[in-house]
């Protein structure tokens, strides 16, 4: 019996030399403090990233509508107009001459509420308009009318902008990060 008691005491002593491993309250508070610091540093960058996504998304959507207008003009052999309503915050695509029922393929898209669209008409001729709104006219060969809007500008609430500039060959528009 004495051997068993000594063995049990030795077993308890062995367990006491290897205490349970755990985090202390101080260590947990330090880790949480580090997480707060890292999050506070990353939050502004994330908000700029999310805002920039709205601008880039709207720019891609407008460019897709421009390509759709050109494709439709070529496939239908008709003049198609991309109109811009700066005040109402919308833009659309429509055939320039429509029947008495209107254009069944006409599209109207709302501008993202965090963005603003500006028409910059620096052309020398009489600007193209459609229903008293500034417009881009796509001719039946897919080219852009010489009096169409040369530049469209999208701006977000932080002041970042994307410009749609007519290319030199007058075959379409390009998205730019700068005005030039």
DSSP 97-123: S-BTTB-TT-EEEEPPTTEEEEEE---
Find out whether 165 and 151 touch, Cβ atoms under 8 Å.
yes
Count of CB atoms situated within 10 Å of the CB of 151: 17
Length of the chain in terms of residues written: 180
∠ CA 20-25-26, nearest 5°, is 115
Between CA 105 and CA 151 the distance in angstroms is: 25
DSSP type of residue 11: H
Say what the pLDDT of residue 103 is. 83
Distant-in-sequence contacts of 77-80, Cβ < 8 A, 24+ apart: 77/140, 78/140, 79/137, 79/138, 79/139, 79/140, 80/137, 80/138
Say what the pLDDT of residue 119 is. 87
Say what the pLDDT of residue 74 is. 93
Say what the pLDDT of residue 91 is. 93
Say what the pLDDT of residue 6 is. 57
Say what the pLDDT of residue 81 is. 93
User: What is the residue-level pLDDT of the chain in tens, covering all 180 positions?
Assistant: 555 555 555 555 555 565 678 888 898 999 999 999 988 888 777 766 666 678 888 889 999 999 999 999 999 999 999 999 999 999 999 998 866 777 888 899 999 888 899 888 665 678 888 888 999 999 999 899 888 888 889 988 888 888 888 888 878 888 888 765
Model confidence pTM above 0.75: no
Say what the pLDDT of residue 51 is. 62
Domains of the chain and CATH, by start: 53-176 (3.55.40.10)
Say what the pLDDT of residue 30 is. 93
Phi then psi dihedrals of residue 2, to 5 deg: -65, -35
* Chain centre to alpha carbon of residue 96: 29
Nearest to 62 by CA among 121, 136, 120, 129: 136
């Amino acid at each position: 019996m004495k051997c068993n008691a000594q063995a049990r005491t030795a077993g308890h002593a062995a367990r006491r030399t290897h205490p349970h491993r755990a985090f202390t309250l101080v260590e947990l508070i330090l880790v949480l403090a580090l997480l707060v610091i890292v999050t506070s540093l990353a939050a502004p960058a994330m908000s700029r990233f999310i805002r920039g996504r709205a601008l880039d998304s709207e720019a891609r959507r407008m460019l897709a509508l421009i390509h759709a207008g050109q494709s439709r003009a070529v496939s239908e052999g008709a003049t198609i107009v991309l109109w811009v309503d700066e005040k109402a915050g919308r833009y659309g695509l429509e055939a320039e001459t429509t029947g008495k029922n209107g254009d069944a393929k006409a599209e109207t898209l709302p501008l993202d509420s965090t963005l603003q669209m500006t028409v910059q008409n620096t052309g020398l001729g009489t600007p193209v308009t459609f229903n008293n709104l500034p417009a881009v006219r796509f001719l039946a060969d897919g080219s852009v009318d010489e009096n169409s809007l040369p530049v469209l500008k999208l701006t977000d609430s932080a002041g970042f902008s994307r410009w749609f500039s007519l290319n030199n060959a007058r075959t379409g528009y390009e998205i730019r990060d700068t005005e030039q």
